């Protein structure tokens, strides 16, 4: 692992810990893989607010629509074996569909271009009012006409991936859960991943929780089986397994259960997501886009009580995955924030020995500021921000205790003095930025909150 990445992950862990406290989230797990190998796996918070049991990286989470990527990998394996073709009409494999639904292709289903209803004419299972659809209920929904003409725009559909699960069963003669476990999960070396609940007795499981609004956090019964929708949303996994699995889908990955050609087809941009300010794309079972100019692919997941997100940045050979156990868990902005942190370190590099001591979290009554050395400069990061280095102030250091503010917002203290005051033990006990004095401990008596 390169030095800049090591330092970036060091700060990313500190930033995420602060974000956890701000969000008052029950728990989350961060995992990062470099070239397919885990280089960071860290749990924060608790697995269950009722028991206050500490969260561990081995706790399983509902990872919801990450399931679509597993299903897409299964379809690509069948394609490589010549058991189906991406241009085949789905009605060739699954009978009893609406006539228009039967004519959509497997590729259109994988890319959400089929025009099928998103969740059906009624979807109380997403409110946990009814169980998820069994096969008969799913087939009844697939007998409904298309919502829009196929191949006209990106239109996300859980029913469409449920239909792909039926196709896998029709082609293989096995249940979706059995076949995908044997042909995709196990060969990928994922020891903590299953396509649906129930889980084996004794498996450590994170409890799902509601959001803080409107009634405060409470337990959410998000442990039920998803039945015929497992191919769309049933998977249970860990951040570590997700990071390694998505890393294996990078076309440049040295180890994968798919060919390079299949991985390229899965991760290339088939559709742009319409009516969305932030430009995003979709491939075959994968989301795509860019963060701070770095192309990425991956997927997200939203399940009652859980939010998760995984992103692979091929340029760096890095995959980041975050799983949370609350329905308002900000996994999406947190993953993007960590990539943004990596972006700064990739540009500036690891810090020189001259400035390495200028670090740590510093406080005033206004909140926290992080000194983050990288390259030849020290940046002032805002740990409460979604991207902590946006418009960051930069310090140039001239000695172990002296420097100046080389770059700051026009409303800041550009051009003024920066200094550290050391205590008797040689450790920094005060930071001065222009006329502002900061302390390393928020409980320092020089800060009055009364």
Strand bridging mode 417-422 / 402-407 = antiparallel
320 and 383 together in one domain:
no
282 and 397 together in one domain:
no
Q: Is residue 445 part of a domain?
A: no
pLDDT for the residue 13: 97
pLDDT for the residue 88: 98
The tens digit of pLDDT for each residue in 430-448 reads 999 999 999 998 887 676 6
- Residue 218's domain comprises 1-347
Q: Is residue 447 part of a domain?
A: no
pLDDT for the residue 319: 98
404 and 283 together in one domain:
no
pLDDT for the residue 306: 98
Helix then strand then coil, % of the chain, to nearest 5? 30, 25, 45
Q: Is residue 444 part of a domain?
A: no
pLDDT for the residue 178: 98
321 and 376 together in one domain:
no
What CATH number is associated with residue 261?
3.40.710.10
pLDDT for the residue 307: 98
Domain termination residue (choose one: 347, 378, 410) = 347
pLDDT for the residue 438: 96
339 and 366 together in one domain:
no
Q: Is residue 449 part of a domain?
A: no
88 and 18 together in one domain:
yes
Query: Which helix (H) or strand (E) segment is 48 a member of?
Result: strand 37-48
Q: Is residue 104 part of a domain?
A: yes
144 and 196 together in one domain:
yes
pLDDT for the residue 356: 84
How many separate domains does the chain show? 2
150 and 3 together in one domain:
yes
- Which stretches of the chain score pLDDT less than 50? 450
Q: Is residue 355 part of a domain?
A: no
374 and 300 together in one domain:
no
The tens digit of pLDDT for each residue in 279-312 reads 999 999 999 999 999 999 999 999 999 999 999 9
How far, in Å, are 358, 396, 403, 420 from residue 399 at the CA level? 10, 10, 7, 10
Q: Are 231 and 165 in contact (CB under 8 A)?
A: yes
331 and 374 together in one domain:
no
3-state secondary structure 388-404: CCCCCEEEEECCCCEEE
**C-alpha closest to that of 403 among 346, 335, 357:** 357
Domain termination residue (choose one: 323, 347, 371) = 347
340 and 388 together in one domain:
no
151 and 258 together in one domain:
yes
pLDDT for the residue 447: 67
Q: Is residue 352 part of a domain?
A: no
pLDDT for the residue 448: 61
pTM of the model: 0.97
């Amino acid at each position: 692992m390169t030095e800049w990445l090591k330092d970036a992950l060091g700060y990313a862990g500190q930033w995420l810990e602060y974000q956890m406290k701000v969000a008052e989230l029950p728990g989350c797990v961060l995992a990062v893989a470099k070239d397919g190998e885990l280089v960071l796996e860290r749990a924060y918070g608790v697995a269950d607010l009722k028991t206050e049991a500490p969260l561990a990286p081995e706790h399983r989470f509902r990872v919801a629509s990450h399931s679509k990527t597993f299903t897409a990998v299964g379809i690509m394996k069948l394609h490589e074996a010549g058991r189906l073709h991406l241009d085949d009409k789905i009605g060739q494999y699954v009978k009893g569909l609406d006539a228009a639904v039967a004519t959509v292709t497997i590729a259109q289903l994988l890319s959400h271009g089929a025009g099928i209803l998103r969740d059906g004419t009624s979807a109380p299972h997403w409110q946990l009012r009814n169980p998820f659809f069994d096969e008969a209920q799913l087939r009844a929904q697939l007998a409904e006409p298309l919502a829009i003409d196929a191949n006209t725009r990106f239109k996300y559909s859980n029913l469409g991936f449920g239909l792909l699960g039926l196709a896998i069963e029709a082609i293989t003669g096995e249940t979706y859960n059995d076949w995908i476990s044997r042909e995709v999960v196990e060969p990928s070396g994922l020891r903590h991943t299953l396509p649906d609940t129930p889980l084996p007795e004794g498996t450590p499981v994170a409890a799902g929780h509601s959001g803080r609004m409107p009634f405060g956090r409470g337990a959410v019964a998000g442990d039920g089986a998803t039945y015929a929708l497992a191919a769309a949303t049933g998977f249970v996994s860990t951040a570590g397994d997700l990071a390694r699995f998505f890393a294996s889908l990078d076309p440049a990955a040295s180890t994968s259960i798919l060919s390079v050609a299949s991985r390229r087809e899965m991760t290339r941009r088939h559709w742009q997501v319409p009516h969305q300010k932030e430009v995003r794309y979709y491939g075959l079972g994968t989301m795509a886009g860019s963060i701070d100019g770095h192309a990425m692919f991956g997927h997200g997941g939203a399940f009652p009580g859980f939010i998760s997100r995984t992103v692979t940045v091929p340029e760096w050979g890095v995959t980041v995955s975050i799983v949370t156990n609350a329905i308002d868990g900000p996994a999406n902005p947190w993953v993007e924030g960590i990539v943004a942190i990596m972006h700064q370190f990739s540009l500036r590099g690891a810090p020189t020995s001259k400035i390495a001591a200028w670090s740590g979290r510093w406080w005033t009554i206004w909140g926290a500021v992080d000194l983050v050395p990288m390259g030849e400069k020290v940046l002032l990061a805002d740990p409460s921000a979604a991207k902590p280095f946006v418009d960051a102030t930069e310090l140039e250091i001239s000695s172990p205790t002296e420097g100046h503010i080389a770059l700051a917002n026009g409303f800041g203290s550009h051009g003024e003095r920066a200094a550290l005051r050391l205590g008797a033990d040689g450790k920094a006990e005060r930071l001065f930025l222009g006329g502002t004095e900061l302390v390393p401990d928020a409980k320092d008596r020089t800060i009055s909150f009364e």
